[in-house]
Structure 1
Amino acid sequence: MNTFAKALVSAAVITTAMTATTTAVQAADKLLLKTPIAFGSHLPALGTPIKWVSEQLPIMSDGSIKMKIYEPGKLVGAKEILGAVSSGKVNSGYATAGYWQGKIPAAALFSAVPFGPEAGEYMAWLYYGNGMKLYQEMYDSNGYNVHVMPCAIISPETSGWFKKEINTPEDLKGLNMRFFGLGASVMEKLGVSTSQLPGGEIFGALEKGAIDATEFSQPAIDQRLGLYKIAKYNYFPGWHQQATVFELLVNKDTWNSMSKGQQAILDNTCKASVTNAIAEGEAMQFDVMAKAKENGVHIRYWNDTMLKTFEDKWNEVVAEKTAEDPFFKKVWDDLSTFRKGYDLWESNAFLPRAKNN
């Protein structure tokens, strides 16, 4: 074999080796996020955001990142998602931090805050205040091996479906009610027994009388659950959840193995999902509410006495929780400081909106 032929063979060998190496590197760089979700992907603005993310990721990353979602309970139970992601049983999961408040009291503050920030203010604190720093610190300081990203947000929920009219605090005493997050602590101070049933169990519990009342989410989502068929009094405003944040948790080892580009794609896709989720939620509520009367639903706005009672009891809950848990106090103090500053802007920039009953 002459020198030229040997050179061609050598070049071919080297090229083949380099191609194989490049292919191997590319294959190694591909990431499949196996993502159990806490809310059915059919639920608008609640489960649809993560489905949207799973559809966008392979497009935005040119196939470098794919996400396979698992409906609630199919791979991991909703309340088990944090532990499963941290341990590496799965490499990601979608839920809301309020689910972990039994283990981490401050987690509820990164989910929904009674009389708390609306969506815009919440996002401002998270992204441009100390919110995200504290959010990640919360998981790190409690030994969870996860990286957290807000991946959806919705605006106010309804504050409850009742079988009877509620006009005074005494009307709540003795009720069994499904209630979420920090708002449940408020209701308990008013003599309500609360439980946090998953969405799929609420209708059956109402129908059988295991619970007397419930809250779950926004009108368009509650309609999917058929709550209006049993409880005919739907109360507003959603004092307990003026905005609700949903999180994507990624196992930290998985996160650290991703390229900077992949991390940026995932982070920015979640930020886009936040925008998409609130737009979707805002667009679909009024049509459902307009048709409520056809289903025999009475839409009610809490009277001033009830709202004042809820707020007074919430202040009691805050005092107790800040005294019990130092990190809850740290987050609460930071959020409160941010909100005091934001009040100057909010009180001057926005038009007051009249209440239409």
Structure 2
Amino acid sequence: MSTFHMGLIINPLAGLGGPAALKGSDSVAAEALARGAEPRAAARTRLALECLLPLVGRIGFLTFPGPMGADLLAEMGFAHRVLGHLDGPSTSAADTQKAVEALQEAGAALILFAGGDGTARDVSAAVREGQPVLGIPAGVKIHSGVYAISPRAAGELARRLVEGDLVRLASGEVRDLDEAALRDGKVAARWYGELTVPEEGHFMQHVKQAGMESEELVLVDLADWLNDSWEEGVRYVLGPGSTLHGLAANLGLETTLLGVDVIEDGAVIARDVTEAQLFALVADHPARLLVTAIGGQGHIIGRGNQQISPRVLRAIGLEHLRVVATKRKLGTLAGRPLLVDSGDPELDAAFPDAIRVWAGYKEELLYPVGWD
């Protein structure tokens, strides 16, 4: 089984201001330490990581040096790779932002970060759109909607992802109080952006069939979402299978059941294309790729869709690939990962450890991917 690459960033100064009655920790860490406050971010992170100890052989962490993650991971026995360096004895917002950039570049499927609202702001300033992150609450102020309700809840969510459970993606707000105003008795909150976060949810909805999901209704919902979000001038490549064929039918488009079709500006521009034809259509043109999973087996690349070759995948970009699958179909995998077998081992290894799955109207899940 392949290694799941997970990022970890600890803000070691998070939470210092609370015990010192400073209402936060931004820019006052030295004063908090002088008042006798003790760092607690690592201890909070340990609570989260304890949930992952049963999976220690399946996770490879990506982290930053010393107190930003490497020290704790070494103590707990997790395999990890240390990226970057610290410029001084004390960490800063710039270190957090550098860590986010480095972990993304190294391919972290999920980035865990421990801190408070200030840390969430730092993560938001550097994270790419759509990169899944999850906050471990360790700060004084936790107003942002990007944190789990407790460190153990964060660890539980991460564990479920690694084990292949269905994990819904949502958009969480980053909010922070003005600490200077707060110390003067004024409460003023600001919105600083949004982050993509996993969330717990009830994955099998009660829709018309005694609590079982209706595939037909889900395809109608997915069609409505796609119809609302077409990007002008972008070519959408639809792989074979009844799921995508049904999705296209709900859009009033005639596609092939077992072929690969290309849609642009709401119209089918090519049906049942060969690999060469497909490459010519996407090589120098912005494109998105929609594929589905083989029920019970899980392959998304390399089974019945060989037209979507390694050079086609590289031309479109793995970041522009989305899996379309109902929760019922994912449930047939019983926690096993989605599979890729492009014929190019280097490309297969470049796939993220978890991929975004469209499962309903504006409903995305994060699901593990494997290739061996």
Normalising by structure 1, report the TM-score. 0.24
More helix by share: 1
Which of 1 and 2 has higher RCO (CA within 8 Å, sep 6+)? 1
Normalising by structure 2, report the TM-score. 0.23
